Chains A and B, each alone.
Chain A
Amino acid sequence: MDSRERFLEVMRFGRDVRSLKWEFGYWGKTLKNWYSQGLEEKDYPAIPTEISTFQASLYTAAWTGQWQKKGSKRGGKIELPNGIGVWGGGTYWPNQGFPLERDAGRYFGFDKSTVLAKVEQLLCPKFEIKVLEEDENKLRYIDLDGVERIYLKQEATIPTSMKWPIGDWESWEKIKRERVHTDNLSERFPPDWKDMVKIYKERDYPLCLGGYPLGVFGTLVHLIGYEKLFFYYYDQGKLIKDILNTFTDVWIALWEEVLSQIDIDCVHIWEDVSTGTASMVSPATFKEFMTPYYKKLTGFLKSKGVDIILLDTDGDCNELIPLFMEAGITGLYPMEASAGMDVLAARKKYPGLQMMGGIPKSKIPLGKKEIDRFLEPVEELLKHGGYIPYGDHLIPPEVPWEDFCYYREKLNRLIDQNGKV
């Protein structure tokens, strides 16, 4: 059984099949620590250095300093910045310039990673990258989505957004006219799309659409910023709805074209709509500004046979789960235990909800006893199906290689024990 078949079977609550061995991912610093603590280095995570229009890398300019050499490839190893994310298989969004981890994955016998179909889903054409200011400590630039970002070179954390391309009706109308419409759909496909279709047709891994930063809250945050967005919900409702209508129309049109050529296994929606303690939007706001657009997307997807629609939201989203499900979302991740998400409780309350994650990553360094304790509920969850266990977000640098090995090997045994194939 390959990784694709396994993923579909697990997400459809198949009982005989073992779950997938994946992690959400790791911080760059974590992996650097691990290499010095015993992880054998064979395939050092390769940061994409090419800024391509398709699935453009929003932060590549920062991670590599290669913004001047657009389109050029650079050989050799680039040391992982501390603050970069490195994907562990459950998700893989190349557009953040996060590489895929292979050494730990090989060591623990991970399943093949999910892959995002190679189409441009946000803006088309993209903005030109423009450096506004650079010195020893920082880089200030406009990224491919028109967002002004600051990258602090010493800290090397994810570039912080400072200004956003949508600031009012006028700026939105301009972006809509130039970059978000269905008149240029063919330009959203890469020149080698026909070859990609052949490759996708023979794949042995899950292929998805959506991903970062596609969501009915996430995309707004990405292009408007939190602060303005929260005001807009109150005084620019029509603008928000027009933006959401336009994007969902484009996604449906684009996905329809993709689906006419290849099967897709799932769609990921990125929101991060919750904080550590609660949701950032009220149920009323959710129902007015999120539900209709989810329904539009999920209705379309289900009519095309795509029945795995997973939503990425960090933090405590307990109160939103019924709203997500009512709107057609079929699964959630990474179920941040540290923010109060309890996968076992959620399973009991929502037996049909697909889940990924849910393992309290921050507790891994607390020792074997604590690991044994927090892995206890996993067996019941695996037996029920529809669950892929892994750390509840990127594994932090505080987790030593030794403790991670203990946790992951035990988790792997649990996975193997709960599934015949």
Chain B
Amino acid sequence: MQKGFKRNFDPIEILNSSQVEQIHSGTLHVLEDVGFKFDSQKALKVLEKRGCKVDHDTRIAKIPPYIVEECIASTPSSFMVQARDKDKSVRFGANTLYFMNSAGARYSDVKTGKVTMPTIQQNNEAVIVSDALDSVNVFPSYTPYFELEGVPPVMSCPVSCAQRMRYSTKPSRGAQPTDTFIWETKLAQAAGAQLLGCVEGAAPLSLSEDACNAAFYYLDAGFPIYIASGSIMGGSHPITVAGASVSHNAELLAIVVLLQSVSPGCGIIANNFVTAMNMATGDLNFGTAAVALHQMAYNQVWHSLYKIPVNNTGSAFSNSKKIDYQVAAEKLPLALCSALSGANMIVLHGGVTGELAYNPVLAVIDDDVANSIGRIVEGFEVSEGTIGLDVIAKVGSSGTFLSAPETRRLWKDEDFMPKIYDKTSYQEWWEGDKKTVIEKAEDRMQEILASHKPEPLTGDQENEVQKILDEATGYYKEKGLI
């Protein structure tokens, strides 16, 4: 089991109890009065049987509050995802913080920022790099790249999943579009792993047929589910943080109701992926204050009231086109706000420009970031031993603590020393090779590629994986999608 980081203090709460109640009751109101569109007759039948008021013409299910409450109650507050290597399995929930890799559609050149279609080799190298980074605990769907050179778009998810099974032993999230869940489930099972299933809503207040099908399929395989509903404040959702919180909550809880009605007790991690709309261009604004506030409020409601594990995607991306100060300025405040407010998982490593670009060099730098944040949430111990009055007295007003045995014994636990950041003296730097953190990360990446060899699939598993990919290709050809 991967340990992740354990938060040893109460999460920051930015809402008082009456505000939490207002957001929750607003959410119940939306689900009962406005309802939620499920684009699947099978899902609607399940919900009708559960007691929802279903209009089969509009496909809208109105969900009474008692059903929502029951489904929240039947969702466990923690659950496990089994990885190919059982030591890499994860347990979401409680005070544990994990990090998930980010993703991008294209390979981003570190120097120029030019994006190009990633090759399979670039993809595999990026997987290996993240497999080697301690702070990457989980891979999302279509990671690291959404598309791959020479791979038909409809096969990009299954191929990406297969590459993760081949080049990493860590847990992976499945995808949902165009029946990809069939192949990804088979791939994971062939590799002896579970997937974190994936059911993503289509804001506002609807779930596509693909997503419903994915829900049934993943649940049938006994996999826990990652739920999400991309939310754009001022676009698919209200511009106010409070309004967007209510409508986003309603979307996720509607999905919780479906999943718990199909398979009561199934594990769920609920993702907050909110962005603000750039009112000048209509693009997504990453890393803004409103997004941080939305996520913090969300973490509080889901963590303290619903007791359902939460993931935050706000720090996965930046609007910067290159790996630069803006990337850090947009990603890090959000990641820290997420960690302090009780997120169980944060998406961070490697995402550069929106969902457009990814580079493993940034993942290497983000490893230091994640470890620093993890060290912060672990807090520190206050005891006679750690205060060390005797040590303070011994040093008095003239000595140094450097020579105290406690310093040598405790310094590594009391702090995290980043591996990549430049911590040399100015003199050394000036007289040396003047490497930037990006150049140092590039060196580290090469070291990883030369030395890190993830446990390969067995011969039988590899044959099975290839067979599943061939089967998927045949399936999509028959459907005219290749």
Contacts and interface: CB of A to CB of B under 8 A. Distances in A.
Contacts of B95: 181, 183
Interface stretch (A111-119, A123-131, A294-302, A396-404): A294-302
Contacts of B406: none
Contacts of A182: 77-78, 91, 93-94
B82 A295 contact: no
Interface string A316-338: 00000000000010000000000
Contact of B74 (A181, A185, A295, A305): A295
B270 to A, nearest CB: 16
A293 B70 CA distance: 9
B260 interface: yes
B73 A303 contact: no
A249 interface: yes
B304 to A, nearest CB: 11
Contacts of B89: 260
Contacts of B59: none
A418 B89 CA distance: 47
Interface residues on chain B, size class: 20 to 34
A252 B77 CA distance: 9
B307 A299 contact: no
Interface in B259-287: 260, 263-267
A183 B265 contact: no
Contact of A245 (B93, B94, B307): B307
Contacts of A301: 265
A121 B16 CA distance: 34
Interface string A150-190: 00000000000000000000000000000001110110000
Interface in B1-33: 1, 6
A292 interface: yes
Contacts of A253: 76-80, 91, 93
B80 A257 contact: yes
A292 B82 CA distance: 27
A284 to B, nearest CB: 14
Contacts of A302: 264-265
B264 A300 contact: yes
Interface string B313-355: 0000000000000000000000000000000000000000000
A16 interface: no
Contacts of B130: none
Given A181-B94, A183-B95, A303-B263, A296 B76 contact: yes
Nearest to A241: B73
Nearest to A259: B80
B171 to A, nearest CB: 13
A302 B222 CA distance: 10
Contacts of A295: 70, 73-74, 264-265
Q: Which of A252, A297, A302 has the most CB of B within 10 A?
A: A252
Contacts of A245: 73, 77, 307
A328 B263 CA distance: 13
Interface in A339-384: none
Contacts of A74: none
Nearest to A297: B265
Nearest to B8: A183
Nearest to A301: B265
B141 interface: no
A256 interface: yes
B96 interface: yes
Interface in B91-124: 91, 93-96
A404 B222 CA distance: 47
B258 to A, nearest CB: 14
A193 to B, nearest CB: 13
B1 A299 contact: no
A260 B80 contact: yes
B68 to A, nearest CB: 12
Contacts of B76: 248-249, 252-253, 256, 296, 300
Contact of A292 (B70, B79, B80): B70
A183 B73 contact: no
Contacts of B267: 256
Given A253-B93, A303-B266, A292 B77 contact: no
A304 interface: yes
A260 B94 contact: no
Contact of B78 (A249, A296, A298): A249
Contacts of A249: 76-78, 93, 307
B17 to A, nearest CB: 12
Given A182-B91, A256-B79, A256-B80, A292 B263 contact: no
Contact of A303 (B6, B80, B222): B222
A256 B94 CA distance: 15
Contacts of B6: 183
A121 to B, nearest CB: 15
Contacts of B260: 299
Contacts of A185: 91
A295 to B, nearest CB: 6
A253 B93 CA distance: 10
A293 B6 CA distance: 27
A252 B267 CA distance: 10
B74 A296 contact: yes
Contacts of A304: 222
Contacts of B82: 260
B434 to A, nearest CB: 44
A185 B96 CA distance: 12
Interface in A235-262: 245, 248-249, 252-253, 256-257, 260
Given A183-B6, A183-B94, A260-B82, A299 B73 contact: no
A302 B264 CA distance: 8
Interface in A176-213: 181-183, 185-186
Nearest to A185: B91
Nearest to B96: A183
A237 B38 CA distance: 35
A256 B223 CA distance: 12
Nearest to B6: A183
A277 to B, nearest CB: 32
Given A185-B91, A253-B79, A295-B70, A300 B265 contact: yes
A327 to B, nearest CB: 10
A119 to B, nearest CB: 15
Nearest to A257: B80
A292 B74 contact: yes
Interface string B122-147: 00000000000000000000000000
Contacts of A183: 6, 94-96
A25 to B, nearest CB: 31
Contacts of B74: 292, 295-296, 299
Interface string B187-210: 000000000000000000000000
A299 B264 contact: yes
Contact of A299 (B78, B79, B96, B265): B265
A245 B70 CA distance: 12
Nearest to B73: A292
Contacts of A303: 219, 222, 263-266
A252 B224 CA distance: 13
Nearest to A292: B73
Given A183-B6, A253-B78, A300-B265, 10 more contacts: A182-B77, A245-B73, A252-B265, A253-B79, A260-B82, A299-B266, A303-B264, A303-B265, A303-B266, A328-B264
Closest 4 CB pairs of A and B: A299-B264, A300-B265, A299-B265, A249-B77
28 contacts: A181-B95, A182-B78, A182-B93, A183-B6, A183-B94, A183-B95, A186-B1, A245-B77, A245-B307, A248-B76, A249-B78, A253-B79, A253-B93, A256-B76, A257-B80, A292-B74, A295-B73, A295-B264, A296-B264, A298-B264, A299-B264, A299-B265, A299-B266, A300-B76, A303-B222, A303-B263, A303-B265, A304-B222
